[in-house]
Amino acid sequence: MDGTTPGPGDGTRERPWSSLAEALGRPGVVTVHLAAGEYRGSFTLPEGVRLEGEGPATVLVAEGPEAVVLRAEGSEQNVLPPVLDAPSPESRSASGADQPLVAEQGVTLLRNLSIRGGAWGVEVTRGRQVRAEKVSFTGQRRGGVQVRAGRFDAESSRFEASIPETVGVVLETPPEAAVAPVSPRTTRLRDIHFTGPFRRAVRVRGAQASALLEEVVVSGAVSALGMDGGHAEVRRSSAQAGTGAAFSVVEGTLVLREVSVAGHELALSVVQSPRLEVRGFQSVGAGRAGLAVVASRNVVLQDVVVRGSGSHGALQLTGSQVEVRRLRVEAAEEYGVLAVGGRLRLRDAIVSRVHSSDGITGDALHLRQVVADVEGVVVRGASGACVLATQNARVALRDADLERCGQAALLADTLATLDARSVEVRDSARTALSAMGDGVLRVDVLRSRKSGQGLVGAECTGATRIHLGRVDSEDSRGTELSCVKRTVEPAPGPR
């Protein structure tokens, strides 16, 4: 169609329709080719229609600030979720969002055009399925796309926010869902750029919402992804230049694979998640913490790198069940790993250059009230303790290489128990080993060199004890203290 054509048309190339409303009003599934120009109005998209423009110069514009540019509303019979092909085991996602649609039947297609202004660019309801390819969304006052029931997929498209507090794509329950069954809401976004001050580039709300993001780049948004329930999977994507938590989850399940974050207050914030899986994640320059996990279970963090983090440390774990494999921390402030409560299994970690702004903390591993099993840890510089167990923590440590610890290399404090085996300590500013506050430290197969204030330092009050098994040290200072016991038995294994 061509809005510049005078008089009525019949939809042919020779006599195109003169208005988009006229073209969309025709019965049956049609493909509408839009010439360059502006098409003003709020349009309803019939099921299966295809709108194909000529690039950014083909612009659909809302007539009013509260209007929706394009509505895709299904019939009452379409409230059920879309029928999907069963994927192969290799391609199946836990969310189901990457399952391909059955051919193109019933799918509304938007291609090669721009959507500008209005409250929303596209609204999807009642089980409709909409796909966008090479579409740009700009100037919406509330958000680019709202999915209340149905599915929205996009590829090679852009979302630009011109005002704060907007959202790029949101999957949310309509108000009437409080008294009616909730329909599934899904989205798949591939090769998408979000730019500008979005409150959230993508928001997932409710148990029936799921999202798959692949090769998505978010720049300038407060959060790249915000979740209140639901499921999301993010692959080969990045977020940068934001101010809040780049990925924020409350009660939802999240899978991250090959994701990077630059800046942001936190790279990842997760609260009460039943499942979190992170594989191949990098955080650079977080303002507060790289990753913060609270009251969550079934947490797996693998191949995680945190370079530069603020006052809450690189990795902060609170009351959670967490397994960490192959962790790298560089230049963290206050803490490398902070674990409070819950259970931690840590394998293969390298922590370097942990510093403290107030001189109080700066611990590479700060383990408090937690049951921790730690193996294969390398520390290269910490202004505090290299490994601190405190406040009734129960820690088993094996195969540790600790260098340039500002305080003790191993410290058991305040009713904590730290069992350490196969540990090498070099260049501790104070002592290699320390205990206080009824803490118990048991060490076997220890090699210690160049400790500034001796091998052992302890406040021998109450139940405070240090048990020494096989120790190779050039310095025996502190071994004469009353709470230091020599034993020929190896230290107990992990509990």
Q: Per-residue pLDDT for the chain (495 aa), expressed as one digit of tens each? A: 555 555 555 455 544 666 787 778 777 758 999 999 999 999 999 999 999 999 999 999 997 778 999 999 876 444 434 322 323 333 334 444 444 433 366 899 999 999 999 999 999 998 899 999 999 999 999 999 999 999 999 999 999 998 998 999 999 976 655 445 567 899 999 999 999 999 999 999 999 999 999 999 999 999 999 999 999 999 999 999 999 999 999 999 999 999 999 999 999 999 999 999 999 999 999 999 999 999 999 999 999 999 999 889 999 999 999 999 999 999 999 999 999 999 999 999 999 999 988 777 899 999 999 999 999 999 999 999 999 999 999 999 999 999 999 999 999 999 999 999 999 999 999 999 999 999 999 999 999 999 999 999 999 999 999 999 999 998 999 999 999 999 855 445 445
Residues with Cβ within 8 Å of residue 453, at least 6 apart in sequence: 429, 430, 431, 477
Cα 278 to Cα 276: distance, rounded to the nearest angstrom: 7
CA max distance for the chain: 104
Do the Cβ atoms of 318 and 346 come closer than 8 Å? no
Task: Please return the burial class of 298, using the count of CB atoms within 10 Å of its CB with bins 0-12, 13-18 and 19+.
Answer: middle
Half-sphere exposure in the Cβ direction for 104 (13 Å, CA): 11
The CA dihedral of 233, 238, 241, 246, to the nearest 10 degrees, is 20
Q: How far is residue 48 CA from its own chain's centroid?
A: 35
Q: In the prediction, which pLDDT does 69 show?
A: 96
Q: In the prediction, which pLDDT does 87 show?
A: 33
Q: What does the block give as tokens for 222?
A: 């407060």
For 262, phi and psi rounded to 5 degrees? -120, 125
Length of the chain: 495
**Any idea which residue has 């391609």 for tokens?**
91
Beta bridge partners of 38: 59
Cα 216 to Cα 223: distance, rounded to the nearest angstrom: 13
Q: In one letter, which amino acid is 26?
A: R
Q: In the prediction, which pLDDT does 478 show?
A: 95
Q: In the prediction, which pLDDT does 101 show?
A: 36
pLDDT in tens, 300-332: 999 999 999 988 999 999 999 999 999 999 999
Cα 368 to Cα 382: distance, rounded to the nearest angstrom: 18
Cα 451 to Cα 408: distance, rounded to the nearest angstrom: 9
- Other CB atoms within a 10 A radius of the CB of residue 200 amount to 24
Indicate the SS3 state at residue 199: coil
* pTM of structure: 0.89
